[in-house]
């Protein structure tokens, strides 16, 4: 069996959100990795094999809800890291 294609859908969304919403100069590499871990631990796991398949079956409302959850999780995680410096 091969499991290389199995992954948590939220991982890529969290990485994209971190890349677009946080200023990398404000955080060390370790802090950015902590933000990713904290964010993912606050989101429900959604394991899939193909992103296209999952995205295809979501309604626009569900897509917006997922993106809002990711934005909220990343913002909260970044604040937690800042508060614990």
The answer to whether residue 2 is domain-embedded is no
The predicted-structure confidence for 23-80, as pLDDT tens digits, reads as follows: 989 999 999 999 999 999 999 999 988 877 777 788 999 999 999 999 999 999 999 9
Cα gap 76→22, rounded to integer Å: 12
Does any domain span residue 13? yes
For residue 13, which phi and psi values (nearest 5 degrees)?
Answer: -65, -40
Number of domains within the chain? 1
**pLDDT given at position 52:** 77
Q: What was the pLDDT predicted at 66? A: 94
Phi first, then psi, for residue 7 (nearest 5°) are: -155, 165
Question: Which segments of the chain does DSSP mark as H helices, in order?
Answer: 9-21, 29-41, 51-56, 60-83
Do the domain assignments include residue 29? yes
Q: How far, in Å, are 54, 63, 65, 79 from residue 59 at the CA level?
A: 11, 6, 10, 31
Parent domain of 25: 7-83
16 belongs to a structural domain:
yes
Asked whether the whole model's pTM tops 0.95, one would answer: no
Q: Is residue 1 part of a domain?
A: no
């Amino acid at each position: 069996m091969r499991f290389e294609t199995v992954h948590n859908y939220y991982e890529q969304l969290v990485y994209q959100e971190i890349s677009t919403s946080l200023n990398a100069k404000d955080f060390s590499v370790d802090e950015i990795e902590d933000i990713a871990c904290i964010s993912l631990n606050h989101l429900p796991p959604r394991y899939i094999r193909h992103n296209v398949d999952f995205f295809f079956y979501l309604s626009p409302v569900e897509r917006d809800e997922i993106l809002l959850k990711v934005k909220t999780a990343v913002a909260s995680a970044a604040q937690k890291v800042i508060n614990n410096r």
